[in-house]
Structure 1
Amino acid sequence: MPPYGGCFLASLPLKQSSPRPDLRILSASAELEKLGLWLVTAVAGCILLLWFVPSAAALAPSGWSKMTANAAAGMLAAAGSLALSGPRRSSLMLRLSAIAAWAVLALGCLTLLEYAYGPIGIDHWLPRSSVGSNDGRPSPQTALGFALVGLCLALGSHPGRKLGTLSDLGAISLIALVLVLVSGYVYQMVELVGLSKANLSSPQTVFCFFLLSCVIAARRASAGGWLSFWFDGGIGSRVARLVFPLVVLTPFVAFAAVGYLDSADIFPAAYTRAVETPIIVLAALAMIAWMGRLTNKLERELRYQSLKDQLTNVLNRRGFFTVADYAMKNAIRLKTGLTLFYFDLDGLKKVNDSLGHKAGSELITRFADVLVATFRKTDVIGRIGGDEFVVLASDSSGTAEAMLARMAAIVAARAMSDPLLEISYSSGYAETSSPATVAIDDLIHQADKMMYERKQLKKAAGSTTGALAKTNRLLPSPSATG
């Protein structure tokens, strides 16, 4: 629920604060990283086992051999390097991680060299198919993927800024390569996936690269650098995380629809081209509109969080003065009067000393609830001190004494229905029929002065002491409310 006075919050200009990492996202990312590495290990490990145990291959589903043994071994090495390089690892594990990272980098670079300058035996290192002359050699795209993975792993552990930037570039390049491979399969473009149908980056390989790219990008984001915005708690990062699936899927869906229109011959070619452009434009506009609405919603939530008091859910001191300024400008525009009420709880210190701060907080919360029940939602309610509350109400809410009488009736009714509640407070108010001629601080000073005079009269009459004693007896103790 937004704090009272929230109708003014949508138009408030707030200063931007430095983004902070979202700990919940970091924790969730760590668990997803573990899951991703386990999946890579399971897929690559099973396929490598099938290459070494031909008798078990008959039980495996068809198509498993599309992933070469070299590719499976490279995936296992990459997953192992990432698993060993996590936080709180021993020096031995970090050294093993570095060895595995350089092995992956060597596999990718040597395979690319073999394609460029001739055979050096890469396809004979591990078991391979007997069909073809280089079936054991990963495709050039797979080799490039291993080179990028190895580069990210080898450089990612170094704290230097330049090496970290290179690792970020490697992670971004790896993501781009995965998108190209996925596009090759979606649109059946063999040239994007491999040299020929006999030498492709297998679906298993693309799946493993996708998982590795996600884990590497998450590691780079948590380490800082270009990708660190992904884990920030700022509004831009929250929007980016939410729209990411839409941004990735929209182009594939749009162009798939375009491809269907081209191949189905539903319309003549000229009409098809005329339909393609609106489809793409509408998809882009829908994404922009959704992002705009989402950004506005998150911005409003941030305004509420920064301006409300966490204990009572009414406005805090900063929020009250900010919203009250807008309320006064609105009253000037509408030519209406304003009344500022000042409230102070009686004997809160004695409640804290005798029953504990939990009981004192309970008393403050209940008093805030009384204010919310008394005044209208358009009135501005704020807690500006430990036991001090202010309310800025328009004259349409009623006269000041009528509002105080209504409040006293609510307090009395709640005391009868709830024997644990006994609230004693002092109040004062200041009225103005011309808000343009008075400042909010002047109204607060006048209302505070009246409140103080009334409190002194209550003390002289002994009413505060009696009410406080009853409050101390009836408020639940921390042990009773636990």
Structure 2
Amino acid sequence: MNQNDPIAPSTSKPAASLLKRVAAMQTASLCAAALVALLILLAWIFRDLRPGYPHGWYLMKFDTAAGLLLSAAGLALLSARQAPSRLWCARVLSLLILLLAVTPLYEHLSGRSTGFDTLFVTDPTSDKPGLMATQTAVYLLLMALSLLVATLPYRLSGTTVVVLVMLLVLHTLIIFSGYCFDVVQLFGQSMSTRTSPHTLLCMLLLVIALIGWRTQLGYFSVLAGSGLGSRLARKILPLVLLLPFALMLCSTAMVRAGWLTLQVAVGLTIAVMAAALAALVAMMGRRINHLERGLHELSLNDELTGVLNFRGFEWLGEQSFREAQSSHSVLTLLVFRVEGVNEIGETYGHEASSHLIQDMARMLRESFEPADIIARTGNDEFVVITKDENTGGVIALMRIGEAIEALNAAGGSYKAHFSVGEATSDPDAEETFHDLIEKAGLRRRERWRVEHVFSGEGERTSAAASRSPPAQPSLHDASS
């Protein structure tokens, strides 16, 4: 995509199915808002249509209906496939909406009439003919700026559009709360100059359409993502938006019915809201902890065997080493290399070599203590850190031999060998964890070799233990 394109792709990769539903919701919202605004415009232009309209239709002024209709058209242009002609049309519409918003704001602030409000149609229904409410003018101003800035390249408009959209949402919710709690100052200057209910409906629909469009871009893409965070946001957002209104409406109704005094209602509302938010925070914390544990295990565990990978070995091994040094205890590090893995894979297939590695991991888990650290640090290499100071893991090696003999009872078609290198930490020496790793790989001590015939249709062979100098083990990242 060109650097000068006004729209930049989101990096959060929203789910395709959700984007389709969001696009359908956006289209429906735009069409509904445009239809309401168009019907009001027709009523202002054609007097013969007015008797069929519901009472109060005239509270949406001509300029208000025109601004809402232009806003719907501008959003539709930006939501469609980008082209220079569409962008220029969207900019022109944004400037027209800006003009419709700035003029009434000037009249409200200065107290002077410009005559622009009745330039196209007369309005005998108000003491201030054709003048929209300040709240409506502010909404159109924010919408015009949002559309205008959105036509700029994404690197210039991204954060600004997010701020403007959030201000639009806040402004719309303030007007909505004014109607919920019958506070005229929040939705108008008088009952004849106010943001009407059908104007508020169009505002809500346009905000929904605007957020739906921005879900494909930047900040709001979290609402349409396929990840756990996005799913959590979609579940919590409606609750966060509706809970305060529901609580306040209930408390207001109880005050009006005489069941509660105003002070008691306010105290109960605050207490319930605080408890609900605390429960919400606790639920989010539990969910995030669960997600963090899952990611932690995914990043530290080997996928094939379920034991730690090299990263997990380094992280937990370093911690265990430091604890041993501080308590002046001894750690034994054993490096196991399964020999012949590549040859078995070439001869019997990749599945056979995978079974060999999995059997080795299982034997290590069964032979060592749960507190010991077991990791796969290479394609054919395992590492065990044990705190067995007395035997240095010899008993565990004997258990491995017994496990091999148990497997040999089923017979097998090929043999596998493994060698083990060993190193013991010195709590009195100034050594590091990586020094211990080097010691396990470089020190030539006597090593065990165990022959194992894995299960198959071949001849049974018993396990044997012998002492031989195998190839030098080396710790490396297990990427295969």
Aligned to 1:180: 174
CA contact (8 A) 2:310 2:377 kept: yes
Q: Shift in Å at residue 130 of structure 1?
A: 8.2
| Percent of aligned pairs with the same amino acid | 28
**Contact (CA 8 Å) 1:345, 1:425: kept in 2 or not?**
yes
Partner of 2:467: none
Q: SS of 1:85's equivalent?
A: helix
Match of 2:32 among 43, 67, 72: 43
| 1:149 and 2:150 correspond | no
Distance, in Å, in 1 between the alignment partners of 2:118 and 2:339 is 85
- Distance in 1, matches of 2:332 and 2:83, equals 67
**Residue 312 of structure 2 is aligned to residue 319 of structure 1:** yes
- For the 8 Å contact 1:152–1:216, the answer to whether it is kept is no
From 109, 118, 128, give the equivalent of 2:113: 118
Q: Which moved more, 1:310-319 or 1:393-402?
A: 393-402
After superposition, residues 37-436 of structure 1 pair within 5 angstroms as 37-48=26-37, 50-51=39-40, 52=42, 71=64, 74-86=67-79, 89-113=82-106, 117-118=112-113, 120=115, 122=117, 125=120, 138-159=132-153, 166-213=160-207, 216=210, 244-256=237-249, 258-260=251-253, 262-266=255-259, 275=268, 278-330=271-323, 338-350=331-343, 364=357, 367-368=360-361, 371-372=364-365, 375=368, 377-395=370-388, 400-407=393-400, 424-428=416-420, 430=422, 432=424
Cα 1:79–1:372 change in 2 (3 A) is farther
Over the residues paired in the alignment, what is the CA RMSD in angstroms? 5.3
More helix by percentage: 1
Give, in angstroms, the shift of residue 309 of structure 1.
3.6
Deviates more, 1:234-243 or 1:324-333: 234-243
Mark the CA change 1:180 to 1:269 in structure 2 (over 3 Å): closer, same or farther: closer
Contact 1:428 1:450 in 2 (8 A): no
| Greater relative contact order (Cα < 8 A, sep 6+) | 1
CA distance in 2: counterparts of 1:406 and 1:289, whole angstroms: 46
User: Which whole-Å deviations, capped at 9, do the CAs of 1:251-291 have from their partners, x for residues lacking one?
Assistant: 43454455355444445566556655544544454444445
Corresponding residue SS for 1:118: coil
**TM-score, with length taken from structure 1:** 0.68
Separation in structure 2 between the aligned mates of residue 242 and residue 377 of structure 1, nearest angstrom: 39
Deviations 1:104-159 (A, max 9, x none): 33333344446564364546758x99855778765432232122111111112323
Distance 1:154 1:98 in 2: 6
State the Cα distance separating 1:381 from its structure 2 match: 2.3
- Over 3 Å counting, the alpha-carbon distance change for 1:149 and 1:296 in structure 2 is same
Deviates more, 1:135-144 or 1:312-321: 135-144
AA at the equivalent of 1:384: T
1:18 alignment partner in structure 2: none
Partner secondary structure for residue 374 of structure 2: strand
Q: Distance in 1 between matches of 2:268 and 2:360?
A: 63
Q: Deviation per CA, 1:88-118, whole angstroms, max 9, x where unpaired?
A: 6232333333333333333333444465643
Q: What secondary structure does 2:152 align onto?
A: coil
Aligned to 1:5: none
Kindly indicate whether the alpha-carbon contact (under 8 Å) linking 2:337 and 2:420 is maintained by their aligned counterparts in 1.
no
* CA distance 1:170–1:394, change in 2 (3 Å): same
Gapped regions of structure 2 (runs ≥ 5) = 1-9, 459-480
Conserved 8 A contact 2:410-2:456: no
Structure 1 pair 338–140 and aligned structure 2 pair: CA distance change class (3 A)? same
- Please give the per-residue CA displacement for 1:26-71, whole angstroms capped at 9, x wherever unaligned: 7677446523421222312433564549999999999888766765
* In structure 1, distance between residues paired with 2:246 and 2:389: 55
Contact 1:135–1:199 (Cα < 8 Å) also in 2: no
Give the direction of change, closer, same or farther, for the CA distance of 1:28–1:396 in structure 2 (3 Å limit).
farther
Q: Aligned in 2, Cα 1:34/1:129: closer, same or farther, shift over 3 Å?
A: farther
Task: Name the CA shift for 1:352/1:135 in 2 (closer, same or farther; >3 Å).
Answer: farther
Closer/same/farther in 2, CA of residues 151 and 423 from structure 1, 3 Å limit? farther
Please tell me whether the aligned partners of residues 36 and 211 of structure 1 are also in contact (alpha carbons under 8 angstroms). no
Residues 1:317 and 1:468: Cα distance change in structure 2 (over 3 Å):
same
Superposition deviation, residue 177 in structure 1: 0.4
Q: 1:71, 1:348 → 2: CA distance?
A: 76
TM-score by length of 2: 0.68
With over 3 angstroms needed to count, the CA separation of the structure-2 counterparts of 1:469 and 1:265, relative to structure 1, is closer
Native 8 Å contact 1:78 1:149 kept in 2: yes
The question of whether the paired residues in 2 share the 8 Å contact of 1:40 and 1:79 is answered with: no
Q: Which has the larger radius of gyration?
A: 2
Gaps of 5+ in 1: 1-20, 472-482
Contact kept in structure 2, 1:78 and 1:150, CA below 8 Å: yes
Q: How many residues align?
A: 443
Q: Is the 8 A contact 1:139 1:195 kept in 2?
A: yes
Residue 378 of structure 2 aligns to a residue whose secondary structure is coil
Q: Which deviates more from structure 2 when the two are superposed, residues 194-203 or residues 433-442?
A: 433-442
8 Å Cα contact 1:343-1:390 kept in structure 2: yes
Q: Assess if the C-alpha contact under 8 Å between 2:64 and 2:136 holds in 1.
A: yes
CA distance in 2, matches of 1:177, 1:427: 71
